[in-house]
Amino acid sequence: MTSVPGVDHPVEQTEAEIRLVGSDVAVTARVEVVHAGVISVRPSAGEYVENSVVRVGDVVEVFWTTDAGHRALPAEVLDVQQGAVVRWRLRVTGPAEHGQRRAAVRSRLVLPVEARFGVVELSGQTVDVSEAGLRAQFEGFGIAPDAGTTCGLSIAFEDGPLVTRGEIIRIQTRVTRWVMSIRFVDIAEKDQDRIRRRVFQALREERARLAE
């Protein structure tokens, strides 16, 4: 049976997303070779660079985008090559199907951010960002907000501020510095797309640095 690039599997030399089934770990990757049911990719591990991310035998899903929407393909990790260049070889285990919305991919990204809790406004910098939320460090004062507290957010992207709302998922207080994990609340689709483009740009830049 003929395998159609872009429909039955991602096209070589394009971006795909690899999600570890049963977890929230997802990374972007460059598809290098697709042959005989095996996909070879070069992942950008982002903040997971110090960890193995996946192991031989792990079950993953490969996501990619077409003009008709997202596609998803089940696979199993055959081989993990570490070193200066990281490669994963994935064995396709089933047919590609129309995929649900992709898992949120995080990237280390330092941007100015402001969080507003009523009349209190905190200034800080993001640590990492995804279309689902962010982790940021703020100059804290007074009583730290509780998990579950909602806030207004303004993130200073290079092409202009992104304004939305968030909910604190986790907070660590370190003297006058607060580290908060915040999920976006009712964020507009266009803003998610904007964040995703910037995240993928950051991951490509990171991969280029590692390849030097």
Task: Assess whether pLDDT exceeds 50 at residue 207.
Answer: yes
Domain ranges (residues) in the chain: 15-98, 107-206
Task: Assess whether pLDDT exceeds 50 at residue 119.
Answer: yes
CB-CB contact of 55 with 80 (8 Å): yes
| More confident position, 136 or 199 | 136
pLDDT of residue 166: 94
Task: Assess whether pLDDT exceeds 50 at residue 73.
Answer: yes
The domain defined by 107-206 carries CATH number 2.40.10.220: yes
Largest separation between any pair of C-alpha atoms in the chain: 66
pLDDT of residue 50: 43
pLDDT digits (tens, 9 = 90+) for 79-111: 998 877 889 999 999 998 887 655 567 778 899
Rounded to 10 degrees, the C-alpha dihedral 48/51/57/60 comes to -10
Confidence band, pLDDT 50/70/90 cuts, at residue 49? very low
C-alpha–C-alpha distance, residues 200 and 29, integer Å: 10
The domain defined by 15-98 carries CATH number 2.30.110.10: yes
| More confident position, 101 or 121 | 121
* HEC secondary structure over 74-138: EEEEEEEECCCCCEEEEEECCCCEECCCCCCCCEECCCEEEEEECCEEEEEEEEEEECCEEEEEE
pLDDT digits (tens, 9 = 90+) for 143-202: 888 989 999 999 999 999 999 999 998 888 877 889 998 989 989 888 988 998 898 888
pLDDT of residue 55: 84
Query: 15-98 with 107-206: one CATH topology?
Result: no
pTM value is 0.56
